Each structure stands twice: as structure tokens, then as C-alpha cells.
Structure 1
Amino acid sequence: MLASVARNAVPKCRKVFRFRGCLIEKYAFRSSGSRRTAATQTTPTIPASVDDRALVALFDEPTTGYSSSHWSHTGLFGHPSLTHPRALVSLTNATLFRAQQLTARILRARESRDELVKVVKNLDRLSDMLCGVIDLSELVRNAHPDRLWVEAANHSYEALCEFMNILNTHVGLYEVLKAVLSDKTIMDSIGPEARQTALIFWKDFEKSAINLAPEHRNKFVALSSEILVLGREFQRGVGTPRPPVSIKPEELSGLKDQGMGVRLQLQARFTKRNLLVYPSSLQAQMIMRAAPDEEPRRRVYVASHSSTSEQIEILETMLRKRAELSRLVGSESFAHLTLDDKMAKSPENVNHFLNALMDHTAPAVKNALRSLSLRKQEHLKTRTSPVIQAWDRDFYCPPEPPAPPVSLPPLTLGTVFMALSRLFRHLYGISLRPIHASPGEVWHTDVQKLEVVDENRGIIGWIYADLFARRGKQGGAAHYTVRCSRRTDDDDEAADGLEEIPGHDTSARESIEFEAIKRHRLPGEEGVYQLPLVVLLCEFARPSASSGATVLQWHEVNTLFHEMGHAMHSMIGRTEYQNVAGTRCATDFVELPSILMEHFLNSPTVLSLFNPDSTSSLAQSPNHHIDPCHAIDTYQQILLSALDQIYHSSTVLDSKFDSTAEFAKLQNTRGMIPYVAGTSYQTQFGHLFGYGATYYSYLLDRAIASRVWGNVFSKDPLSRRLGERYKDEVLRFGGGRDPWKMVSAILSSPELESGDAEAMRIVGHWRIEDEVGLPGRH
């Protein structure tokens, strides 16, 4: 009910760890290829404000850092008590004490009708109480440079998650919630958002074998533990270097990359033996892209996609255990169990979407392969068109770095933040404002604090930006939801019974103070709310006095826009219940706002915002390129999504199930490039653990985001009217409304509202990029 794990797996995309209310989001972002679209500017461009220009100085001039301040010392994120690691342990103990008392109150709820009415609210409070510390601890575990803080965060994380696991299978809590859901009068009185929150709790209980006999619940717990251990072993194997392949020096003659090619041949000549090339090395990449001889490319490809029998056994055991767990709780398969509360609803609907998407994408793939075959024919001087093999893709169509669709000056980090702030002000009346962080408020001097300011309501949340690479810090790009929105003025904490317990002042003090600092009353808004707080982690190069400001590559600009799409969802998704706030929504819906943000980078009008003095859109860049092979990569992602569904179907319970054979069968029957004998890529498909049965999600959200961009924003991308409409019909609901209703409303497409098989087919026939868009490599 309060502690589940649901992770989404899209190529280098979002990973979500959801603890039935806690949502700790990590995004290892996949860069998008360059795209363009014909946008017609009808909204005048608002000049950059003083705050917008201050963002440039904040991020581009190292001596201007707002992190250094003479203000009074505080603790992490402004919590006065969190000034040292021991305080986090004390906070954890106080939180556990208060959570136990609140749990006891919920269990007594059937003694009073008034208490039954408050059950959903109190369950959400309980979830938020625990998640507030768990989410903060998860951030500290991944970002704090101090070992003692990390150790304290690990302790807090594990202790609170252990308690959540107890609540997760608590029969008494389940029975109380069942009484609420069975009372029509109560359900009619609590409102749609509360009902949605109640159903989320209910479904999570049901998925945890709560209504089974004790021996079956024990088996469920045992299977869950086994799956977790197997999943971790599988993930470790994903990153394990594959053995090297032996390449003869003469096989590298004629390399297109003469620099590295010459060095490799000299190395071989000097050592007087064949070269040992590791699949993940720069040498391997160079061979795949530049070796005219097909044989070394084939051997490097096979080595790169190989597996040991132990790695395959770990994966197949994990898949079987998932299937057994699903059968235990009455589901046909793990896919059926997982998709029940997603947009897709069922694996059958996912397959409707994927089949439609395959059919829609296939003609473009055939055209691309035809072009590559002609290139291969010319290269090999053959009389007939040869078949394109998997090891040919990068040689005949080498990937190029993405580039902007218009000519732009160097895109410094500060310039990009300025453009983001200007864009949000045009669309939503919201801007970003630098603010000094007090000593102790942040975990490193790199971290900069931004206020998110609404032109009518004032500060609506905060973003802490930790953007520069450093030793020991988590790699990649990530968006952490450290605090979600939640209404607090109707918490009725006095009825929790703390005052009746001797010594409660000492036992609960840290937790009460921790909660109190979150609460704010905004102008023109009824009630008191927790204001959202998010952290962005990136690993950009650090600016310096000698090298100047950090200049981002185009894919890094895409990354920042993507992550800020999640951040604004967290800020605008203002709900009364934290379980449905902002990005706490269906796994196959959560990427929509972030992918849509990438589409804004297609528009010359939007790109003019990178220049603080510009008031007009920019000219098309003569260097803009289109990857002719993007359809091949997209189609392969669709195939992997289909493979994910096969692996999480009841097929895995067949004693003859062979994951490699299933992969080969799919590639040879639905794929456009033949399966390569001797390969078993599935053990490197790491998303099978984190996003089991939901790998299709990124494709679904790409299709919807492309449609929203094309039908709503493309002609007037700075329109406040359109931005407010999108905010009111999508962003503000978080996970508190059926995603299909939101998509139907923003697209004015009533045929989508039911979210049935036909709706999935319809989306499958949409483009998953804009007019001539390019998905990124993965």
C-alpha cells in the first residue's frame, strides 16, 4: 500500500522507484536527434527580465555563486535540525515514532464515522511522513560528498523502507480501507482526487497479496525478496565488460578513421600480435564505424552482444519468479499484474499499440535499409543488393551528433536557464529566480538554489541545481522529487494521540519541526500547502576563470529541457494528496511533459529566447542535418518493447522457455535486420528489471507528445492561452485524473477518453516524432 517498486525502462530514460507514495525519480536521459518544424510566431516575445539575466551570471560566472552567503546557518534544504549526519538518524527515529502513532489511529478508524471519512487523508499523511525522509535520504545517498552523511542516509532509507514494507502487508490497514471503499456515502463525499488516491492504495494492497492466506502472503514476500536479489545480480551483469575479440592488423587496413586506425596498426606491429579489442572501448566503436572489412565488424558486434550461461540463467530465473508471483495474486502474467493501473491497462492493449507502431514505421525502415543496401553494394562492388546486417548499421550510416535547427551562439549553461525561464513565463506566467542558499542548506558549493515564481501567487516551489561533474557523484542526468505538493491545513494532527504518550515532546519533536517548515499559504489560494522541492543532478563540465562558462552540446540542452519538463510538472501539479502530486502518475504517462519540452527546441521562435535581446525567430541553420537511419533505431526500440512483453507473459513458465530463442524468433519474424547467431543481447537489456513490462512507455509518450506539439503548440509555441490550457488540462492534475481524459482534453479527441484497445491503436498510428523529427540513438 505504501511501499512498492515500479520502474520504467526506456532506452537511457527515466527510472522511477515508487514506494507507494514515495517517488524518487532518476532520469538517465537519452539525447534526441535534431528536429525542425515550421512554426508561425503569433505571440510577441517578452524581453528577458532582470531575474532571467541573473541566471546567466549565476551559472556562467564562477565568482558570482549564490551558494556562498553571510546569512544565518541552517540545515539541509532549510531544515534547522539537519546540520549534521546524526540529526538525520534522529529525524528518522522521530518519524518512525509519529508514523506508528498515525498507523494506530487509522487502525481505530472504524470506531468513528468521522475517522473513517479521514482514512484516505491519513493514509496519504502517513505516506508523506515517511516519504519526506526517504526521498531526502535517497538524494543524500547519491549526491552528498560526505561519507558520514551518506552512511546516515543509508541507515534512514533502509529503516523507513523496512517499516513501509510492514505497512504494505498490514491486513488491518487493508480492512480499514476496504470499509471506506465499501461505504458509498463516504466515497461520494471525499471528491475525485481523494477517490483516485484511495484506489491507488487499494490496488497496491491487492498487488501485495494482502487478501491471501498467511502462508501465501509469506510466499509472496519470499518471492519478492528473491526477485529483488536476482534483479540486482542481473543489473550487475548488464554492466560487466564483455571479453575482448582478437582482430588481425591487416583486417584494419583502409580504416576511414586514419588517426586511430594508424595507431592501432602501429600498436599491433610493435607488439607483433593480434589486437585484443574490448567491445565497450573506443577502438571497438571506431571499428564498427570505420572498418571497410566486414569481418572485424561482425566479430566485434558478436562479442558486444554475447552473454554467459550464468547471466542468461539469472535473467530467466527472475522472469519465472515474476510470473510465479503474479499467478500467486491471481494475475495471468507479470505484464497483466503490472499494467492493470497503467494507461495501457493490459498487455493486449500494449501489443495493439506496438503492432500499429511497427506497421506505421516499417515503410520508413525499408526505405532506410534500401539506401544502406545501395551504399553496401557500391562499396562491395556486387551485382545485386546485399542484405544489411546488424554490424553494417554504423558503417554505412554513422551516427552524427545532434545539432540545433537554427544557427545559435555558444549555448552556455546560464543562457539555457535564461531561455527556460523566459519560455515558462510566456507559457505559464512562471519564472525562475536565483536565491542565496544559506550555509548548510546545500550539500556542495556547486549547488544553486532557484525559486519558482508565479506572477500571481509568488513562490510556488524550489529547484536545487547540482549540475557539475565531480568525483563520487551519481552520473547522468536525474530529477529527484524531494518534496511533493500536499494540502496540510486539514491534517487534524491533534487527533493522532501524541499528547497522551509520556515523553512525546522529545520523541516526535524533530519530525514535527521537519513537517512544519514545509508549509506555506499562497496569495489567492485556499488552504495551506507543502510547496514542491526538486533537485536536478547533471554532470556538465564546470566553469572556471581560465576556461570560462560551461558551453553545452546540443544533446545536453535537450537533456536540460527534458529534466525541466519533469520539474515543472512537479511545480504545477498542485494537488491535495501527495500520492498524486506532480510526477506521481502512471509510469506510461509521466514522460509526456518532459518529452514535450524537447519539442519546443524545434521552434526558431523558442530558440530566439536564448538571446536576451532578441524579439524575433531565427533563421534555419545551414548545418542542420537529418539522420536517414533514425527509423531503424526507432523500429529496434519497438522490437525491444515487444520482447519485454513476451518476457513478462505466461510463456516464461513453459519448461522449454529460452530467452535467446524468443529474441531470435522475434527478430527474424518482425525485425527488419536478421538476428545474428551467437548473440544474446537480452542480458544487456537492463530495463527488463527496472521497467519490466513497461518498456513501451517512452514510445507511447513520444507519440502523444508529438501529437500535442503538432496539434497544440507548433504554430504558436509562446502562447499563454495554450500554455494555460495545457497547465489546466494536464499538468495541474498530476496523477489525480485518468491520463486518457487529460490526453483527450488537450487534443480535443473524445475517441481517446476510454483508453481502450482502439485508443492504443490510434496512438500507434501517430508519428512518434514531429514532421521530420529524429529520435535519438539508444
Structure 2
Amino acid sequence: MLKTVRYRPWTCKDCLQRVKSRRTLATAAVSPNHVDYAAASKFTKQRDDDTLRRVFDSRPFWREFSQRRANTSKRSGLVQNQYLTSPEGFRQFAHTSLQKCQRIVSKVLAVSTLEGYRSMAKDMDRLSDLLCRVIDLSDFVRCNHPDPRIQEAATQAYALMFEYMNILNTTTGLHDQLKTAAGTPEVASYWSEAEMTVAQILIKDFSNSAIHMPPKDRQRFVNLSNDISQLGSDFVNRAEPAKSHVALRKNSAQGLDPVVVRQLQKWNSISIPTLGVEPKLALRSMHDESARKELYLATRTSSKRQIHRLEELLSKRAELAQLSGYSTYGHMALSDKMAKTPEAVSNFLTSLIDSNRSHVQDELFKLQAMKQAPPLQPWDHAYYVQQRLTEYSMSRRSRELSRVPEFFSLGTVMQGLSRLFDRLYGLQLVPQETLPGETWNSDVRRLDVVDESGQHIAVIYCDLFTRPNKSPNPAHFTLRCAREISANEIAESAAMDPPSHPNDGMATAMNAGSNTLRQLPTIALVCDFPEPPVSGNGPPTLLNEHSVRTLFHEMGHAIHSVLGQTPLQSISGTRCATDFAELPSVLMENFATAPEVLSLYARHWQTDQPLSENMIRSMEADRSAHGNIYGAVENEAQILMALVDQAYHSSANGPINSTDIYHKVFSAHCALPDPQEHSPGHLRTSWQGFFGHLYGYGATYYSYIFDRAIANKIWQDVFRAGALSVDRDAGERYKNEVLRWGGGRSGWSCVAGVLGSNNPSNADGRLAEGGEEAMREVGRWGLGRDGVSN
């Protein structure tokens, strides 16, 4: 569909007036508030580095820093968008963008000349950008802004543009014109690789909207799509077990925390819910195996209503795929992914099972030795893992490890990210004061990304602290994608009454070495960390190791957006294949706790002493121990879920017995016994009813572990191949072969390029071709056992 990812740029009315006065395009990128990063000295770089730590660690410093422009008469729209100074501005923003869209649509529909067809890929990309700049930003604001009036205004803008986008996706003339352009040799040979890629993506999106179907089939397609959407929402939001509670005798719960027992006690028995945290605690701690068994089976048995929802969802997806000309929904969903086919995904997953099997057997052997007899069962795993973890924690130097967060203040971690990016890519994160109205909350920090030449290349808004009603889920949002802005767009914006900015006031810059204005990526990072103290006394926000890895993960997405600045926004940054999108973020997790990277930033919040080598070794030993206790079995669980997902979406249209398929997969591949034979009254377990990702990731659940396998390979063969993981040559190689392409290059070409032709896994260039053998090869690389359960 026409919807894509986006970013943003800025200039002021004075700049636009210069355009009207026929000054050069370079002049239009300058504003009275422009920061001349090119003039930065070594002292300035050090000052920015120190400031970066203090704006996140010291609330008094942040108040002073953020108030520097608070009394200025100049106000900014939200995230610099010139329209968004009030709720009414969202309506104006949407309607102005809509009018620009309509002009482009009229132009494309009227094209009949070779010149017109040659400009069509760029025209359609701009149309997509206009839709995205409203939809993406409005969607973010309605979910994250604390003001209900702003939320409602953003929701209305979102709905208006989303409705128009759906109309365009069924406008046959756009589809036909684009196909004509792509099929004309004089046009295709004229287009750049990026233009051809965008044209192919948009043609595929039109096809996914059933635009090529006769009216009767198209209506059936729409009806099925609506049914799938409703069923999927119900499946995710109405998951329910067959039994809401399990009643046990009180003495059967020995080992469970007495506080929890008192909360659940009813006379001489306890009633444990089958959803939530309580059953997890019970399965880890209750000594009575029969009690664990009863609870385990109940927690993995869904209600009949929920299973019916799932099977109806799967059936309608299969019908939709066949209506669209695909043999199965899996073939439809994977056609534009790296995997291409369900068979290729199965090759990857079964190969991964094999590479993981010896580690699984090693873990289970040690747990079996603890249980002795009878054989280890599925309901035993969490219990004996917890016992091993307890034994380990009693033997390790827990006092030393408990002090680790003291070396990970939020400010030092942000400082570390900036220093890492400087060494790998020549980039720096520079704190920047915001104008009144620019952010949605006073605790949001703005960082400008600056390269070695002093060029401003991106804006990142960091919303990292907890507040009431804020989602606890960490996330990366691309509010506007990078792309080149044409001279015609600048002239069009200057001619508006009143004059407008070609990027709605959001960040822009000149392309280095050219006279071309470009739209800079604008990004929001959202986390839910505790706030530093208001007074400035006491410790700042301190992060545990998991939170550090989370922040590095989200910044991995951001750096993909920052460096993937393609000429067209439809392939910019994270706009790439679903099974390639997590690679940069997963790879970044490896840097978080690498000793060479820790030496860049891990400092005690109070004494500024570095994290000692002894503590770094203790952290490594701790991760390794936890991975050796349960890492491989958790990997297997993820693989099994991906196999179930593939099996469900590889079925042709017809009745689907999801429970049969689920148990068939587990019986064939799970190292622990399948619990179905132990279910009372032959009522088999049906855990698939709780697998909510079956809706959002239908046929693509393998993507995360696929990217983990690739990330581990790149980490070992590229970044760990030399003496240091922060080697600039490795960073440049990764940037040039992977990050800078966004979605404009095949993921397989990116992987083959960064590993290089001398890598044994890439012999004869086999990876660049992709296909089933390449997927099997990635499976052989394995997942490792560090950093599981992210």
C-alpha cells in the first residue's frame, strides 16, 4: 500500500522568502535558529559529551538547559511541525497534505508522455510520503501525547488520511499507470535502482489490496480482510483458559512464597489463577510434582471459544491467499520477505533445531540429574531451572553484581552510545534546546545527530522516563523518513498562501557536496525508566543490565533510520523486509556489554570510577551461567513457536485442527515430552490459543530469531574478528554494506556484502542469491545462548 515510513526536516518563513526571491536552493536550508555544527571544535565536542550525560542524569541541570529558550517569543509546532501549534493545527496539517496528494494523483492519472512516466516513481514516492507524514506522526501523537484534546485531534487527522489512503489503494488508474511506466523499457532503463525498487514495492502493495481482481472478487477480498481484522483483534484481546483457576490443597503449595499463599488461600486450599504472574511463580517453586503438573496443564489449555477464533482466522487467511492467487497464506505473506517461501523458512528452522539440540540436551541432562527419577517432564523445567539459579546465586559474589547498576546511569549510557557511534561511524549525539511547544512532555530530550564534518543529519526525541498512563513498552518510532526534496516542491511550498516549508518546518539539510535539499529523519525513542530525583540529590536513573540492552536495542533501530538515508522515503531506514528489520537492533545488543564498549562509558554515578575488569568478568560469567542453565531450551521454545506459525499458515483452504497441528510439531521437535499424553480425560492441551503473535506476525514469527542468527554471525565475523569490537573499519563496512541501504537493497546482498567473499559461509557468493540453501545456512549459524528472553 502507499503507506510507508517517514522522517522530517525544518526551515523558517524567512528561508522560504529567500526561495521566492530566487536565491539558490542552498539558502533555503538555513534558518535563524540554525546550529553551525561545522564550526565545532574539540572543546565543543567534549562539552557536548559532558552535557549529554548531565541532561539525562541531573534534573536541575536539565531544567536550566531546557529553559534557555523558554522565554523566547518564538514558538515551535510539535516536533518542529509548523502546523502543530494547537489541536486545530492537526486538521490544517491533514487538509493541506491531502490537497497536495490530490494534485499528485491528478498529475499521475493524466500522464501520457515519456517524461511524465519517467518521473512517476518519484511522484508516487512523494505521494506516499505525504500520506505517511500525517499518518505516522498522528498515530504516534494520539498514543503518546498526554493532552486528550491533542490526542483527539491527532486521531481525526489519522482517520482522514488513512481513509484517503485506502481509497488510493483501490484506485485502478494509479496501479495501471505505474505498471505501464515500469513495463516501458525507455522508462525502466532511465530509472535509478532506488526508483525501480520503489515502483516494484508499490505495485506489490496495490496487488495486496486486490486492485487487479474483478469487482465481485475484490468485494470478497475486502470482506475477508475485515473479518480477519476483527477475528485477530478478538483473538489477541480475549484470550482465555479453559479453567480460570486451579484449586490445590494448601500443603501441595509448599515452596511457594508464603505471602502469595496467603493472598490465594481459601480455607485449607489455595486457588491459583491460570493467567498472570501467580502460576509462573508457582511452577518455579512448588515442590509437589503432581500440583505442578495440574497447574501446568491448565495454564496451557485454552477455552473452546478461543480455539474456534483462531481456526476461523486461519481458515479465512487461507481463503484470502487463494483468492489472491497464492497456494497458502504463508506463500502470500513471505513473497516479499528474505525467506520468500514457507519451505525456505522450514529449512532455516529445522537447521536451527539441529544446531541447538546438543545445547538443549546438555541443559536437560543437568536438570535430570537434579530430579534423578522419573524422567524430566515439561512441568519440571521451570522448577529445576529455578533451583539451579538459586544454587548459582548463592555461590557467586552477588554483592559485587548488585552494584553494577551504579555504573549505568542513564546519562552515562547515552554518553556511551554517542561515543560508540563516533568510533564506528563518525557520528555524535548532541543535546539541543527545544523551543516552547516542540515536545509533547517537558521531560522529552532532543538530540541532534551530527557527523564528523559537522553536518546535521537527524533528530532524535528521547522520551525515556516513566509517567502516569504512559505505555511501559520500549519502542522506536520513525516520525518522518529521509528523502531528497525536489526544487519543484520548494517552489510549490513557497507559492502557497501563506508560504509553507517544504518539509512542514521539520529538520532539513543540504546533501553534502550538492545543491540538493533533503528531509532529515526524525525519530522518537520511548522507554519507561524511573525519573532522576527532582532535587538533584541522590542517585540519578540507574539501569540494570537488561534495561541497558533494551536501550541499545532501540537505538539500533534509530541508527538504521539515521544512516539509511536513501533518495526516496519508501525505502528509507527501517522500511525494509520484515525479516531484516530487527538485524541492526539485535546486533546493537552485543555492543551494550562488550568489554571494549563498557570501557567507553560505564562510570560510577558518584565517583566517576570506571567499571572494574573484575566486575566486567563477573557480568560475563553471570550471563554465561544463566545462558547455560536455560538459554538453549528457551531458544528451542522460540523455534517451536515459529514452526507452529509456519504449519498453521501453510495449510490450504479448508477445516484446520490447530490442536492436532500444534501437538504434531511439538512431538516431532521438542526435546521434552509432549504433554498431550498426560492430559486428564484425553483433553489435550491447546497452548496455541495464548499465542497472540499468530495474528500480528502471521507466517513471519521466525523473523526475530532469523535476525538473531545473522546478527550473531556479523558480530563474530566482522566486529569480533579484530582485536576490538569498536573498530572503525568494521563500522564503515557494516554501514556501507547494510545500514545505508535502508530497504533499497536485498537483505541477502547486504548480508553477503558485510561478511565478504572470503567468509566460508559465503563461498561462491551463495548468500547473495538467497533461497532455501541460504536459509538453511543461516540456521547452521545458530543463536548462541547469551541474551535470551529479550
The change in CA–CA distance for 1:614 and 1:730 in structure 2 (over 3 A counts) is farther
Q: Does 1:622 align with 2:628?
A: no
Secondary structure of 2:424's partner?
A: helix
Q: Do residues 741 (structure 1) and 749 (structure 2) align?
A: yes
Tell me the SS of whatever aligns to 2:88.
helix
CA distance in 2: counterparts of 1:703 and 1:294, whole angstroms? 36
CA distance in 1, matches of 2:670, 2:44: 50
Q: Alpha-carbon deviations, 1:49-85, whole Å to 9, x = none?
A: 3222212111111122244442432110112331111
In 2, Cα distance between equivalents of 1:703 and 1:654: 35
Once the two structures are superposed, the pairs formed by residues 709-728 of structure 1 within 5 Å of their partners are: 709-714=715-720, 715=722, 716-728=724-736
Letter of the 1:685 counterpart: F
Deviations 1:292-321 (A, max 9, x none): 111222232223222111111111111111
Contact 1:406–1:604 under 8 Å retained in 2 = no
Within the candidate set 676, 689, 692, 2:695 is matched to: 689
Counterpart CA distance in 2 for 1:84 and 1:388 is: 62
Q: Is the 8 A contact 2:464 2:527 kept in 1?
A: yes
Give the match for residue 772 of structure 2: 757
What is the CA–CA distance in structure 1 between the aligned matches of 2:119 and 2:379, rounded to whole Å?
A: 61
Task: Please list every run of at least 4 consecutive aligned residues from structure 1 whose deviation after the TM superposition is greater than 6 angstroms.
Answer: 239-242, 401-408, 493-496, 612-617
Structure 2: where are the runs of 5+ without partners? 9-42, 677-683, 757-761
Alignment of 1:96-107 (within 5 A): 96-107=98-109
Aligned equivalent of 2:96: 94
Identity of aligned residues (%): 37
1:757 positional shift? 1.0
Correspondence for 2:165? 164
TM-score, structure 2 normalization: 0.86
Structure 2 residue 249 is matched with structure 1 residue 237: no
* Offset from partner CA, 1:508-527 (integer Å, 9 cap, x none): x77x6653544321443552
After superposition, the Cα gap between the structure-2 partners of 1:492 and 1:471, relative to the gap in structure 1 and judged at 3 Å, is closer
Question: Using the alignment, how far apart are the partners of 1:237 and 1:555 within structure 2?
Answer: 30
Residue type matched to 1:676 in 2? P
When structure 1 is superposed on structure 2, of 636-645 and 272-281 the one drifting more is 272-281
Moved more, 546-555 or 426-435: 546-555
Alignment correspondent of 1:676:
675
In the TM superposition, what are the counterparts of 1:218-367 in structure 2 within 5 Å? 218-238=219-239, 243-253=244-254, 255=255, 260-261=257-258, 263-265=259-261, 271-367=266-362
> What's the counterpart of residue 665 of structure 1?
664
Equivalent residue for 1:732? 740
Deviates more, 1:457-466 or 1:415-424: 457-466
Give ranges in structure 1 of 5+ residues lacking alignment. Answer: 3-18, 25-45
**Pairing of 1:509-588 with structure 2 (within 5 A):** 515=504, 517-525=506-514, 527-544=516-533, 545=535, 547-588=538-579
Partner amino acid for 1:356?
A: S
Task: Output the amino acid matched with 1:58.
Answer: V
What is the letter of the counterpart of residue 463 of structure 1? I
Residue identity opposite 2:163 in structure 1: E
1:450 aligned counterpart, secondary structure: strand
249 and 307 in structure 1: CA distance in 2 versus 1, 3 angstrom threshold: same
Range with greater deviation from structure 2 (707-716 or 667-676): 667-676
1:606–1:617 Cα contact (<8 Å) kept: no
Letter in 1 for 2:238: G
Return the match for 1:433 from 405, 409, 430: 430
* Cα pair distance change 1:141/1:537, threshold 3 Å: same
In structure 2, the CA distance between the partners of 1:611 and 1:411, relative to structure 1 (3 Å rule), is closer
**Corresponding letter in the other structure for 1:603:** A
The CA deviation at 1:282 is 4.2
Give the AA of the match of 1:541: P
Equivalent pair of 2:556/2:588 in contact (CA under 8 Å): yes
When residues 549 and 493 of structure 1 are mapped into structure 2, their CA distance, relative to the original with a 3 A threshold, is closer
Measure, in 2, the Cα distance between the counterparts of 1:610 and 1:518.
29
Return the alpha-carbon distance in structure 1 between the equivalents of residues 192 and 511 of structure 2: 22
Q: Which has the higher contact order (CA 8 A, sep 6+)?
A: 1
Structure with the higher fraction of residues in helix conformation: 2
1:23–1:135 contact (8 Å) kept in structure 2: no
CA apart distance, 1:329: 1.0
Contact 1:488 1:519 in 2 (8 A): no
How many residues matched?
714
1:411-490 equivalent positions in 2, closer than 5 A: 411-490=408-487
Q: Tell me if the contact between 1:237 and 1:684 (Cα under 8 Å) persists in the aligned partners.
A: no
CA contact (8 A) 1:476 1:538 kept: yes
Q: Residue 81 in 1 paired to residue 83 in 2?
A: yes
Within 1, Cα distance between the matches of 2:295 and 2:776?
38
| Distance verdict in 2 for CA 1:388–1:23, change over 3 Å | farther
Q: CA RMSD in A?
A: 2.7
Which residue number corresponds to residue 781 of structure 2?
A: 766
Distance 1:533 1:486 in 2: 12
Distance, in Å, in 2 between the alignment partners of 1:272 and 1:405 is 39
- Kept in 1, the 8 Å contact 2:5–2:478? The answer is no
Secondary structure at the counterpart of residue 482 of structure 1: strand
For the 8 Å contact 1:22–1:127, the answer to whether it is kept is: no
* TM-score, length-scaled by structure 1: 0.87
Q: Is the 8 A contact 1:605 1:616 kept in 2?
A: no
Judged with a 3 Å threshold, the aligned counterparts in structure 2 of structure 1 residues 264 and 125 are, in CA distance, closer, same or farther, namely: closer
Q: Write out aligned runs for 1:52-131 (5 A).
A: 52-65=49-62, 66-68=65-67, 69-70=69-70, 71=72, 72-109=74-111, 111-131=112-132
Classify the secondary structure of the residue corresponding to 1:169.
coil
Q: In structure 1, how many angstroms separate the alpha carbons of the residues matched to 2:7 and 2:770?
A: 25
SS in 2 for 1:673: coil
Q: How does 1:395-414 map to 2 (within 5 A)?
A: 395-398=383-386, 409-414=406-411
Match of 2:368 among 368, 373, 378: 373
CA contact (8 A) 1:67 1:446 kept: no
Counterpart position of 2:679: none
